[in-house]
Amino acid sequence: MSPNDTLGEGRPFLLNAFTMNAASHTAYGLWRHPEDQHHRHAELEYWQEIGRLLDGSGFDNLFIADALSHLDTYGGNAGAALAKGVQTPITDPLLVASGIAAVTEQLGITVTVSTSYEHPWLLARKFTTLDHATGGRIGWNIVTSQLESAARNLGLDSQADHDSRYDRADEFLEVAYKLWLSSWEDGAVLRDKGSAAHPEGLYTDPSKVHPIDHRGRYFTTPGPFISEPSPARVPVLMQAGGSARGQAFAARHAEVVFVVGADDAALRRNIAKIRLLAAGEGRGPDAVRFVTSIVVVTAATDAEAEAKLRDYQSYFDADGAVVHYSASTNVDFSGQSPETPIRYLETRSSQGLLGMFAKEESGREWTLGDALAPKDGFGRSKLFVGSGESVAKALDAWAIATGLDGFNIQHVVSPGSWADFITHVVPELRRLGRIREDRPGPLRPRLFGQDSALPPADHPSHRLALIPARASSESAAS
């Protein structure tokens, strides 16, 4: 597929506000900026303020990353992360989602949860609860975790091998699909307080509630599921695996893929590969949408945006970027100079983040400084600077050139970066046809233009959820 044949060319972007329920996210050192409010991340009111700002603004979704331990690879301990406020302290994003939903009408809320340290029975109920609470607006960013210390703190000697974590995740999703899609039939809940058909009343028809009888390598879950079906049943599924195994997992399950690449050519290659893999899973050519992380600094004019950029850069902490990259890749880069070349290594952590800067993948030599502290940027995400018109045109052209369907827009300062984007860039994107119309209700129809809130028919959740001969009354819940 050539860039001009991009399936998403000219249609509305998928716009995620990208953040973390921590002292900082990826704008290393910017917590010191007087305008940044992200230090209030432990306050529900802060998240509700963000929700109100984003709801109906042109943003589709609030995407909240997560981690389960301190970033302690750099120097062999968490000292640098704690001192520099690099994604620590951190609190659970899942528990603020319903509070955000309470003050919004159409904003999606996507939360990161690891399949390595949860159980599908418990997590399926949590997401069903949130899907009810949000009216179908919940999403799940599926991760398998990458921090060794998380495994140790959860009682393991070390985390499982990289690929085996994805094997577990595949079965985790299969169990969840069965719970969400196969256990309770539509119409199982009657709430009949007394009628000719049920004179004594009937809340739930037992013949329409089924055990799933799952017995696999990692999980044994007889069922039936404990929760009644929610509006979407299955949360919108997002995923960011960059390794070969991660891409295969994304192609099978994800509806939105957070794709990475050191340059435009790498993004195009990764998008094309996942599309091909998805076709092998029986999914349609437009079944998966692709987003990548960006930073936008915008103002009324190009000159004002450049001045704002210089101000922000005076707070940027390049060492904080290396602390984060060390933890993500499980390679201790402490004591290394910015001129240190990045080499690909087989690790138990994020192979994709090492691979994207490997010479074999990118065709050039990347140093730590090139990748993590470029002179004109903030970390490893692409930077767009300028007036709303300049940024909108640049985003439109870049999406056409790469095949991207949208963006995870990081904040430099929160919530100011998103407020600036809404004020200056969204009106220009709207003129280009890149902002979708308001559509309150479930997230999946909003993002994909479909009528049903459930996954489309070609999504493997339907195939994996099928249970032979489940319909007999003998298999019903007692």
pLDDT tens-digit readout, 29-51: 999 999 999 999 999 999 999 99
Q: Give the confidence band of 359 by pLDDT, cuts at 50, 70, 90.
A: low
Separation of alpha carbons 415 and 351, rounded Å: 31
**Tens digit of each residue's pLDDT (9 = 90 or more) over 293-311:** 999 999 999 999 999 999 9
Q: Is the pLDDT of residue 256 over 80?
A: yes
- Among 2-6, 218-222, 323-327, the range with the most confident prediction by mean pLDDT is 218-222
Q: Give the confidence band of 324 by pLDDT, cuts at 50, 70, 90.
A: confident
Nearest to 428 by CA among 295, 304, 300, 290: 300
Q: Which residue has the higher pLDDT, 441 or 365?
A: 441
Angle between helices 388-402 and 264-280 (to 10 degrees): 50
Separation of alpha carbons 87 and 278, rounded Å: 33
Query: What pLDDT score was predicted for residue 125?
Result: 98
Q: Which residue has the higher pLDDT, 160 or 228?
A: 228
Q: Give the confidence band of 3 by pLDDT, cuts at 50, 70, 90.
A: very low
Q: Is the pLDDT of residue 196 over 60?
A: yes
Q: Give the confidence band of 345 by pLDDT, cuts at 50, 70, 90.
A: low
Q: Average pLDDT of 126-131?
A: 98
What are the φ/ψ torsions at residue 258 (nearest 5 degrees)? Answer: -85, 95
How far is the CA of 463 from the CAs of 83, 114, 160, 466, in angstroms? 48, 23, 28, 6
Q: Average pLDDT of 149-163?
A: 78
Range scoring the smallest mean pLDDT among 24-33, 36-45, 175-184? 24-33
* DSSP 8-state secondary structure symbol assigned to residue 181: I
Q: Which residue has the higher pLDDT, 123 or 159?
A: 123
Q: Give the confidence band of 346 by pLDDT, cuts at 50, 70, 90.
A: low
CATH classification of 3-187+206-319+382-475, choosing from 3.30.70.270, 3.40.50.1820, 2.30.30.60, 3.20.20.30? 3.20.20.30
To the nearest whole number, what is the mean pLDDT of the chain?
A: 89
